[in-house]
Structure 1
Amino acid sequence: MSSDPQANPAAGKTVIRNIGLMLSGDIAHPILDADTIVVVDGRIAAVGKQGGVETSGATKVIDAQGCVVAPGLIDNHVHPTAGDWTPRQNQIGWIDSTLHGGVTTIVSAGEAHYPGRPRDIVGVKALGIAAQRSFSNFRPSGMKILAGAPVLEPGMTENDFRELAEAGVTLIGEVGLGGVK
């Protein structure tokens, strides 16, 4: 597992050609009229038909052999804890396994499985902020992880949520995991 492939993007120009079907991710126009992707220095620079995009000067050409290309999927219900380890299944590598299934972004529904998860308000806020900041700085295998979803506990006030928001926390954990049912 690499920590952040975005930190060292592939230099040069890569052309992926002979794509059989390209999905857009746009429900109104789900299929693109395209068979070629051009990537420059690790970023998609062009998508289109082979004759309609600039492919000269490619340092690498990949023949997709008619494969389907789709945008990365989003899993909006995960419970991240520490890096690529989950205590719930006592498993290392779950993020890599998720990535292999086509998911490139995951959204925390609360760091509920964190061993010894705090239930006091100060601890709840600290864990939420720590998770948000940790995964903002760490992208296991390039996976985007939106974390820092405090599990709600009784006694939290508007000021607590303001403090969380000011610290960069934008999520709330799944209701019912903590003391608030």
Structure 2
Amino acid sequence: MSDTSAKLVIRNIGMILSGKMEEPIFDGDCVIAINGKISAWGYEKDLDCEAAATEVDAHGATLAPGLIDSHVHPVVGDYTPRQQQLGWIDSTLHGGVTTLISAGEVHMPGRPKDIVGLKAMAIASQRWYENFRPSGVKVHAGAPVIEQGMV
């Protein structure tokens, strides 16, 4: 491996949950991730765990995939009086949620109600979250809020 700065090894895992119904538990005690994506799992003795930039001892903990919340209403930034967005996203991460899917950014002071404004806000939200991952959480934003005349 030429670039080891992005290699993560998590060893001493008690159980690896796959998230797959057909194979819910993977055999192994070790996971390797490269550039933030899992590249291998299995038993440490069978994997290339050398030259990792980061090594984590799981101390027998269970490793599970992050949860997806498929209906959220995020706002852009942390200025809205309705909710403190960045703190809220951080709190969801502590509950195991690593991905949020927007059902529309409705809690914005002065939110546009015309079709062009709604589309512009949806595009801006998508671009903002595409370039910013608060607390490392992936937010799929940009769903337009449905208003009269859109359908």
After the TM superposition, which residues 66-85 of structure 1 pair with which residues of structure 2 at under 5 Å, given as runs?
66-84=60-78
Answer yes or no: is the 8 Å Cα contact 1:85–1:94 preserved in 2: no
Task: For residue 91 of structure 1, report the CA deviation from its aligned partner.
Answer: 5.7
Alignment of 1:54-73 (within 5 A): 54-73=48-67
Which one of 123, 128, 132 corresponds to residue 129 of structure 1? 123
Aligned to 2:41: 47
Normalising by structure 2, report the TM-score.
0.86
Question: Residues 60 and 123 from structure 1, CA distance in 2 versus in 1: closer, same or farther, beyond 3 angstroms?
Answer: closer
Structure-1 residue corresponding to 2:102: 108
CA 1:11–1:63: 2 relative to 1, 3 Å = same
Distance across 2 between alignment mates of 1:85 and 1:103: 23
For 2:50 and 2:5, locate their aligned partners in 1 and report how far apart those are by CA, in whole Å. 15
- Separation in 1 of the partners of 2:85 and 2:126? 21
The one-letter amino acid of 2:71's match is: H
Structure 2, gaps ≥5 residues long = none
Tell me, in whole angstroms, the C-alpha distance in 2 between the residues paired with 1:80 and 1:29.
33
Q: CA deviation at 1:41?
A: 4.6
- The structure 1 residue matched to 2:11, chosen from 6, 13, 17, is 17
Percentage of pairs with the same residue: 58
Aligned length: 148
Structural mapping, 1:20-31, within 5 Å: 20-31=14-25
One-letter amino acid of the structure 2 residue matched with residue 88 of structure 1: R
What is the alpha-carbon distance in structure 1 between the residues aligned to residue 35 and residue 144 of structure 2? 37
Cα RMSD, aligned residues only = 2.1
Higher alpha-carbon deviation: 54-63 or 114-123:
54-63
SS at 2:129 equivalent: helix
TM-fit CA distance, 1:59: 4.2
Q: Tell me: CA distance 1:91–1:74, structure 2 relative to 1, closer, same or farther (3 Å).
A: closer
Counterpart AA for 1:79: H
TM-score with structure 1 length normalisation? Answer: 0.73
